[in-house]
Structures are given as structure tokens and as C-alpha cells.
Structure 1
Amino acid sequence: MMKKNIFLFVADQMRNDSLAHMGNPAAITPNLDALVDEGVSFENAYCQNPVCVPSRNSFLTGLYPHVGGHRTMHYLQRDDEPNILKEMKNNGYEVIWIGRNDVVPADRKKTDYCDEYYDGVLDENTRDAENSEVDHGATMNEASKKLQEKMLSGDNYYSFYMGKLPDGEGYGKTDWNCVEKALDYIDRRSQEKSDKPFFVYCTIAFPHPPYACEDPWYSSIDRHLLPKRRPNIKDVPNKASMLYGINQKQQLDNWTESRFDELRATYLAMVSRFDAQLGLIKDKLKATNLYDDTSLIVFSDHGDYTGDYSITEKVQNCFEDPISNVPLLIKPAKSIAVVPRISKAQVELLDLPTTIAALADFDLSYTQFGKSLLPVLAGQEIHKDAVFCEGGRIHGETQAMELGHGPSSPYWPRLSTQYSEGPEHTKAVMCKMGDYKYIMRLYELDELYYLKEDPMELNNLAVKPEYQEMLQEMKNRVTQFYMETTDFVPNKRDKR
């Protein structure tokens, strides 16, 4: 039987509760919501690290960040590391990579991993080797730059809030370029007589901060429908010291609720624009008669605090749901068994490579730790008893501090706190089992939350004597996790 196409459409920094079908009354996401009628949306999908590079290294390989030391933004994939893009190319797929990188170093050709690469500005074969990456947030016209200057002032400086863009030609333009490239490719493929199935990895920048969006999306979000914001972290005891440090430096404590509402609504507008772009891709696949033969997978690399706890952006070693619980939706090709629904099965982004290989009907060539989601698509609700997210460093691990940002950088509140040799940026791992979420911390207080009664993760049960038995059970599961995944023997033997 002819192999089916696979299309990945990936957001950057999109939290799971930013979707209407996940219960957000202010969200406008009709195209994402409609996928629930054809496929599965995973309510309990978790990334394996809540920042870009470690997360992408994980979901493109099926390996946890600790396996290869991918715990920082500055260490990308090594030559000998596996990658689902390479696997698809080696198994007869035409591989098209469009958009963000955060995986392959600038001095290595992306076309080693794919047949075509486009970053939103230039194709790989027309790119200067010394200018091989594009900063999507820096591609701004004069109107966008004025908004950025306004952002970098007063108590707005570290908030990442820009607001209403005058148009889509400055900040955010690269995403439109990427979507246009994807649409052009679908058109081209529909006219070609190719025996090769295609694998498209289209990964765009929104809703990654700065928080900014043009109309009609900016004005479409009803500010009165926004869900309740999580309270200021300075009023919540027994949380990670990293959060207190960022909160103190971002200086958002005096913001009014209406200002936070504007920031949160702008973020949802960015999500809605992503949804509209997904709609363009869906419509093009249908118009070219490729939709039924294409598995469509939509997800985000991690989430965003978006003002919860009076914090914006994200952090490497904290795991509250706003930054670790991500959208994951799979609409399989028509020949693949599916029971359309919102699934409560616990899943990880790390499950994607083996799921993609199963959809493409081949076995991965290397050891990995994901588990195929095809049985869940077919109706099974038990997938994994526990899911994990991890990050941070040990004391003295200066290469993981991400040094080099001063107070003029909007990222300074987080990154300067990472430089501390206190407990702030040190190692931690999250283990979620059912309604309980446990966080083991190397140098400070552990955390335990009962999400059913405490969805905002405010009441740390690890300090309560009556929860010590549950705490020990979760610790035992973390021990098993590390025993199972600490390393793996390479598949290729060395000569002796």
C-alpha cells in the first residue's frame, strides 16, 4: 500500500489552555477545534523541557534532554545524534523543513536532514554560510521597531508586551512567509507525478513573545472572557526560587489587571493567527485532494506563563502547566484507525518520532524512549502511567548558564537569575501521574500538587506530613525513570 504523507505544523510557546476546545472561553481557534471531529486532541500532553532547544532536541529524537546533555539553548544536535527528519529521508520520504531551527548548528547544512530547507527568509541553497540563521523576532519594519522601543521602557521593559501591530509586514512576517512556502509546496506536489510521499516539518514563531499581533486577530479577543489569572508568585509560599527571582526582576507587581488582560488577550490573538494559518494549510490540502492521504500533526514545543504568577515568558527548570502542558492534535490519514475525541491519556512530545515512524510503516534505526500513539488514536485511553519534564544544572556548570545578556536584554530577569549559584537554576524533574504532579529538586524544596483540587498549583503538599507516602511513591517512579533512560548503547559498534 502506498505510504501516506505527514505534515507537522508546530507553534512556538503555545500553552494547551489557549485553545477553545480545551476550555478557554476567550480563545478563537476554530481550525484546531475542528480537528477533534477528525482526530485526537491530547489534554495531557507534556513537553520534556520548557524551553526551545532542549524540547526540540527531544521531540525530534525520542530522547529525554538528560540523555545527550541537552539542557541549554546553546548546545544543539551533534553530528552523530539521530533525528526523525533524517529517518524519514532515509525511508523514502521527500523531507521539507520550513521555519524555525533551534536544533542544527549554523555551521552544518540543514539539507543533510532534509531535501529542502527554508527559514522564512532564504532557501538553504541561496544562503550565505555566515548568515545561516534568521532571528524571527528581529525582522521588524519601522512601525514594529517603534512598538519594540515602547516595550523597552518603564515598567513595561521586561514584560515582552508590544500590543497591536499595524500590519503583518514587520514582526511576524517570517511566519507568513513560511506558511506561503508550505502552500506553494502543496500546490507543487499536487501537480508532480512523484512516487515519494512527503514529510513537511513547518515550525513557525508565534505565539512566542514579544506579545504582538495585527488585526483582525488583535481586536477579535473579548477581554471580558479571559479566564482567571494565577496569583502573584510573591504571595504563594513553597514554590521554586527561580520564579521568585524572575518576578522580582521583571517588575510587573504594580501592573493593573487590565494591563495583564491586554497582554493575555494579545497572546490569544497570536494563537488565533496561528489557527488561521493552520486553516490555510488544511484548505490547501483539501483543494489539492491531498488531505485524506495526509496525517496532520499540530503541537507546540512548550508553553508560556503569559502573566500567570505575575511572570511572562518561560523558564528552564519549572514545570507548571502553563509552560509544560502543550497542545498536541493528530488527524491521521483516512486509512489509519481513529476514534475522534479529546483524550485524557498521558502522553509526551517525545512519543512523536516513533508515532511518525509507525504512520510511515517503518521502525526507527536507533534506541529511543517514545511510545507510539497509534493505539490511542484508535481509542485506547491508557498510554503512560507517568510523564516527565526536566531541566536545570548542577552548581559550577557555567556552560549551562547561558551567559552574555545584560540588563538591556528583555531576557535579563530570567537569564541573570540562571547565573546565580544559589538554588535558582539547579536541576529538577517533574513527574506527573494522574492528578498528582511531583517535582524533585536537587538543592531546594520538592513540590507536590493535587491538580484535581489545585489546578493553579498553589498548595505544595510536599511540606505536609499526610502526603509523605504519596511523595515517596512519586520519588520511586522518578528513580525508575532515570534507571530506564539514563543512557543507551549506540547502535553502531566501534572497530577494535
Structure 2
Amino acid sequence: MAKRPHIILFNPDQMRADALAHLGENPAAQTPFLDALAAGQAASYRHAYCQNPVCVPSRCSFLTGQYPHVHGHRTMRYMLHGEESSLFSELKAAGYHVWMNARNDFLPGQDPDAFARHADEVFYGGDEPPAPGPERENPRGEPGGKDYFSHYKGRLKTDGRGRNYSEDDQIVDAALRRIRTPVPGDKPLCMFLGLIWPHPPYQAEEPYFSAIDRSALPPRCPAGPVEGEPRIETLIRQGQGMQAYTEADWDELRACYAAMCKKVDEQFRRLCDGLKEAGIYDDCAIFFFSDHGDYQGRAGLSEKCQNTFPEDLVRVPLLIKPPKGVSLVPGVRDGLAELVDVYATVMDLAGVAPDHTHFGRSLRASLADPAAPLRPYACCEGGRLAGEVHCDESHANGPEGVQPANEYYPRLKAQEDDVAHGKATMLRTERYKYVRRLYEEDQLFDLETDPHETVNRIADPALAEVLAQLRLAMLGWYQATCDAVPFAYDGRFTGEMLWARVKRFCPPEQKERVLAMARENIPMARVLAWAARLAQGGDPDSRP
């Protein structure tokens, strides 16, 4: 078998697609290394979509190739359980040495064996002193102030070495140490770097903080509330209380986010340089992608939401650099892709057969041919049923009114509202986006004429036929993906049930053998045939 490539997954948290400068949508964006990679060594997918707009459900999805609804992974508190495999456990079983950092948001903390099932090595960190905090004293201000729930912290201090050595820096350095160290048994390496940035709080040190040209930022679109918006957006806006934010305030927040993305670009460059220094860069399949996006001031909102689907939240960066020998035409792809396709592409390039049903599509063909067809539509989903208390994710720090309140309190409080946090599903084609809402009015946007999704056309008779087609497509998608039968067969009969069927043919001393057959899940027909041969003088030690 040909030597398997090393698999490198670099996963910043909450990075929007338009944070990539080479996509040409944000003149203030600065991602020089990623831009050069896309120009010469990788495919960059302009329209790649996550399958849930918050961390845990998205990661459970792209690491299994399954949609959140398949196994109920649609809350921040339901991760992969013991019976569920992932890209990592499957590569580990196939002979890969899997390294990851502990902050991965897909393994359950209460399961002491979870990490060992999915990884050979886990970097936990915690050995370095905390990085210096913001320059501003009390950056949140007082309760009721415009910054209290904004997540904006601003410029960070630096230490005596002129650095702000963050947890992400520790993760990258730990990965570099692993790269420089021989892997036991000369196994191929699989690495997952789950970074924190550019997840809020919005904060960055120099030289990143001042590198972003505030005047180059595109206008916020839409700047204010949209008529007929989902109830949860209204509630979050009311709770965040950022109505006093001026455009200059929003520009500072957005510039700080862009600065965080610039640092992520630099950290990714350091990792790739380390792979080159170790002499394995050409042998690596490298994936750079985020789990979801960020509102960044859209409609006066900060951070994210679990059941809304504007492009700001659901369209994410996705770049793939294949290993040497895999055909590639570098550059941007404009078709639709989903993050479940990361799972399928990794398994394809690694030459490992999946051990479960998945819904990803390998992007190998599109690496070689920018015109290769991708998906006819992309889907995303979130929310909960009314009364699903275990899915409301309301984890505020203490009762209402206790200060300082959890910075996520406005969103978590809004999610207690059954209507606001109701189930919703997005289906996006090249031109249209349809959102089915369980407890509120559906949404339909013409992205060609309304790219910022400001006019809901759900009741427009001119789009009635389009709406009917999108609803049928969503129904078809659900029907094609609504269940996943395990690859392993279950026995229909216990050992005692099998023994009851064959004991008239078998001497009593064969009972333990029959019970063992049940534990081995040998079908009854084969056990009966073995017992029949035994009754005719056959060898009791023969294979059933």
C-alpha cells in the first residue's frame, strides 16, 4: 500500500469566510499566508458552510460526516459518546498517530476514556503563566453600559518579551514540538489544532491590533434590525444593550476581530514552516477551516446565535492543500461545499474506509478541477423543540441580577424562550436561501438581489415556484439523511435462545460453545446448520 499522507487539521473558532483577504470581500482583512497558499498550493472554497452555527454541534458534524439531527448533536452539552466514532478514532484504528489539543469541543468531559479512544496524545497546556490582559481597566464597564455584553476588550498588553503568549500560541508550539519528534513506529501523523481565536472576547495585541485599517472596513450590512427578523435576534439585541454603539465603536470591534484573524494567519504560517523544516510538508494533507462565523455587528448584534443562518454565521473559510502526488489546480472554488465534506475528503486522501454512514462528499475531484461540480445546495440547522430543557443551554452564572453576569447571558437567556429557540433549518442554493422555522414564519432570500438578507420574500407570489422547489429539496435532504443504520449487525437471539433451539441436537457439554456463538454474534442459521452437522456425527470443533 502506498504511504499514507500526514493529516493536519487547523481549526480556528468562529472565523467568518470574509476574514480571508483573497476572497476580496473585506478590504481590511489581512491574511497574507493563507492568501499565498490559496494562490499557489491549495484550493479555497468561497461558499463552504457549517452544519450548525455554534461550536459543539458543528464539530460533532464535521468530525463524523453526519448532520446534527442524525444523532441529536444540536446542543453545546451533547458530544460524541462511547459508541460513536470520529475521523480521529478511525484514523487511529487504521494506524495513524493522532495528536490533538484538549480544547476540541467534541469529546465528553465526564468520560475518562474518551480522549484515549480518539487520540494517542493530548496536549493539555496550563504550564505557562496567563498572558497579560487588556490595556483598558474594567473593559466591560458597568452593568447597563454599551460594552458590558459586547465581548469587546480591545488592545492587549504584552509581557517583558513584547509578546502576549496565549493558549493558542502554546498549542501551536506544542504541535511544533510533536512535528520535530519522531512518531512511534514511524506511523503517519494526524494533528488537530483546535484554536480559540478569533472567538470572543475581541482582543488583540500589537502588532496585530494596529495593523488593521479601520477606514477600509466595508459598511455593516444591515446596520440595524431587519423587519420580520427571528425572535431570538430581537431578544439578544435587547439583552446585549449595544444600541449606544456608534459606527466608530463597531469599527473598533470589527477591526479587533480582523486583527485576531491576522494573528491566526501568522500562527498557521508558523505551523506550516515547522512542517517544512521537519521535511514532511509535501507529504501532508492540510485543512484550514473554522466551525462557524460571527455576527460582527450585523443588525446590531455581537458574537453568534444557535438557530439563525445569515452568511455571517454559517459561511466559513475552507482551504485544502493536498499531499504531493494528488492533482491540484490552486485557487478559489465558487461552488457550494459543506464541512461534512472535510470528513469525506480526509478519509479519501488517507485511504481509510469509514466505519459508519456519513453524508460528506470528497472534494478530491474539485482539487484537480476548479470546475468540477460540487453540491446543489448546502444545509445548516439549529434550535430545539419547545420544552426541551436539556437543550436550552441556559447556563448563566447565578440568578438574574447577580454581577458580573456571564457575558453570554443575553443569548443564553433568549434561548429559554421556546419560540425564539425553536428548531430551524437552512437550505441554500447558488441563488436562494430558504429557512424553515418550526414556530415562526419561514424565510426566503434572493441572494442575487439581496446578498445581505434584508428582505424576506417568503410571501412573494413571484417566488412561489422557487419556494415549492426549495421545500421539496429540504424534504428530500431530510429523508436521505434522517437516520443512519450502524454498520455492525446486532444478534436477534440471546445465548439461551440459541441453546433452546439446538439443545435437542447437542450434548450438554456444547452449551458453553453455543453461548459463545451468541456473544460472537454468529447468525442463528449458521448455528442451526452447525448443530445439524453435529447431530449427523460432525466435528463439534468445526466452524459454525
Structure 2 length-normalised TM: 0.85
Q: How far apart, CA to CA, are the structure 1 residues paired with 2:150 and 2:287?
A: 31
Q: Does 1:144 align with 2:145?
A: no
In the other structure, the counterpart of 2:166 is: 173
In the other structure, the counterpart of 2:339 is: 349
Q: Does 1:118 align with 2:139?
A: no
Label 1:256 to 1:81 Cα distance change in 2 as closer, same or farther (>3 A).
same
Given the alignment, which residue of 432, 446, 453 partners 1:450? 446
Q: Give deviations 1:462-484, integer Å, cap 9, x for gaps.
A: 12121111111110000001100
In the other structure, the counterpart of 2:329 is: 339
Label 1:394 to 1:59 Cα distance change in 2 as closer, same or farther (>3 A).
same
Contact 2:134 2:156 survives alignment (8 Å): no
Q: Which is greater in Rg?
A: 2
Instruction: Tell me which moved more, 338-347 or 269-278.
Output: 338-347
Q: State the Cα distance separating 1:195 from its structure 2 match.
A: 2.9
Q: Give deviations 1:48-106, integer Å, cap 9, x for gaps.
A: 00000000000000010011111111111111012000011011111111252211111
Label 1:148 to 1:197 Cα distance change in 2 as closer, same or farther (>3 A).
farther
Given the alignment, which residue of 32, 36, 39 partners 1:34? 36
Letter in 2 for 1:25: P
- State how 1:465-476 maps to structure 2 within 5 Å: 465-476=461-472
Contact 1:178 1:204 survives alignment (8 Å): yes
Q: State the Cα distance separating 1:290 from its structure 2 match.
A: 1.0
Given the alignment, which residue of 75, 80, 85 partners 2:78? 75
In the other structure, the counterpart of 1:410 is: 407
Q: Does 1:13 align with 2:14?
A: yes
- Aligned residues: percent identity? 40
Partner of 2:304: helix, strand, or coil?
A: coil
Q: State the Cα distance separating 1:411 from its structure 2 match.
A: 0.6
Q: Does 1:326 align with 2:316?
A: yes
Letter in 2 for 1:403: S
Contact 1:386 1:434 survives alignment (8 Å): yes
Q: How far apart, CA to CA, are the structure 1 residues paired with 2:440 and 2:372?
A: 35
Label 1:470 to 1:284 Cα distance change in 2 as closer, same or farther (>3 A).
same
Letter in 2 for 1:436: Y
Instruction: Tell me which moved more, 152-161 or 58-67.
Output: 152-161
Q: Give deviations 1:391-437, integer Å, cap 9, x for gaps.
A: 0011111111112314511111111110013x211010000111111
Q: Give deviations 1:130-151, integer Å, cap 9, x for gaps.
A: xxxxxx9xx855x527758322
In the other structure, the counterpart of 1:308 is: 298
Q: State the Cα distance separating 1:121 from its structure 2 match.
A: 2.5
Label 1:171 to 1:450 Cα distance change in 2 as closer, same or farther (>3 A).
farther
Q: How far apart, CA to CA, are the structure 2 residues paired with 1:162 and 1:171?
A: 14
Contact 2:45 2:319 survives alignment (8 Å): yes
Letter in 2 for 1:476: L
In the other structure, the counterpart of 2:477 is: 481
Partner of 2:104: helix, strand, or coil?
A: coil
Given the alignment, which residue of 53, 65, 68 partners 2:68? 65
Contact 1:152 1:410 survives alignment (8 Å): no
In the other structure, the counterpart of 1:377 is: 367
- State how 1:351-366 maps to structure 2 within 5 Å: 351-366=341-356
CA RMSD of aligned residues (A): 1.8
Which structure ranks higher in relative contact order (CA pairs < 8 Å, sequence separation ≥ 6)? Answer: 1
Unaligned runs of 5+ in 2: 494-544
Contact 1:172 1:206 survives alignment (8 Å): no
Q: Does 1:197 align with 2:197?
A: no
Contact 2:135 2:155 survives alignment (8 Å): no
Q: How far apart, CA to CA, are the structure 2 residues paired with 1:99 and 1:214?
A: 24
Contact 2:134 2:154 survives alignment (8 Å): no
Q: State the Cα distance separating 1:460 from its structure 2 match.
A: 1.0
Q: State the Cα distance separating 1:233 from its structure 2 match.
A: 4.1
Q: State the Cα distance separating 1:170 from its structure 2 match.
A: 9.7
Structure 1 length-normalised TM: 0.93
Q: State the Cα distance separating 1:381 from its structure 2 match.
A: 3.0
Label 1:77 to 1:485 Cα distance change in 2 as closer, same or farther (>3 A).
same
In the other structure, the counterpart of 2:490 is: 494
Q: State the Cα distance separating 1:228 from its structure 2 match.
A: 1.1
Q: Give deviations 1:319-360, integer Å, cap 9, x for gaps.
A: 001110000000111111111110012110011112111111
Unaligned runs of 5+ in 1: 123-135
Q: How far apart, CA to CA, are the structure 1 residues paired with 2:208 and 2:102?
A: 22
Aligned residues: 476
Q: State the Cα distance separating 1:152 from its structure 2 match.
A: 4.8
Q: State the Cα distance separating 1:284 from its structure 2 match.
A: 1.2
Given the alignment, which residue of 217, 242, 245 partners 2:235? 245
Partner of 1:74: helix, strand, or coil?
A: coil
Instruction: Tell me which moved more, 304-313 or 402-411.
Output: 402-411
Q: How far apart, CA to CA, are the structure 2 residues paired with 1:309 and 1:462?
A: 20
Partner of 2:282: helix, strand, or coil?
A: coil
Contact 2:15 2:292 survives alignment (8 Å): yes
Given the alignment, which residue of 391, 408, 415 partners 2:382? 391
Q: State the Cα distance separating 1:264 from its structure 2 match.
A: 0.2
Given the alignment, which residue of 84, 87, 91 partners 1:84? 87
Letter in 2 for 1:118: F
Partner of 1:151: helix, strand, or coil?
A: coil
In the other structure, the counterpart of 2:203 is: 212
Q: Does 1:287 align with 2:277?
A: yes
Q: How far apart, CA to CA, are the structure 1 residues paired with 2:27 and 2:103?
A: 30
Q: Give deviations 1:275-320, integer Å, cap 9, x for gaps.
A: 0001101111112221111111000010000111110110010000
Letter in 1 for 2:29: A
Q: Does 1:464 align with 2:465?
A: no
Q: How far apart, CA to CA, are the structure 1 residues paired with 2:48 and 2:378?
A: 9
Given the alignment, which residue of 265, 268, 279 partners 1:278? 268
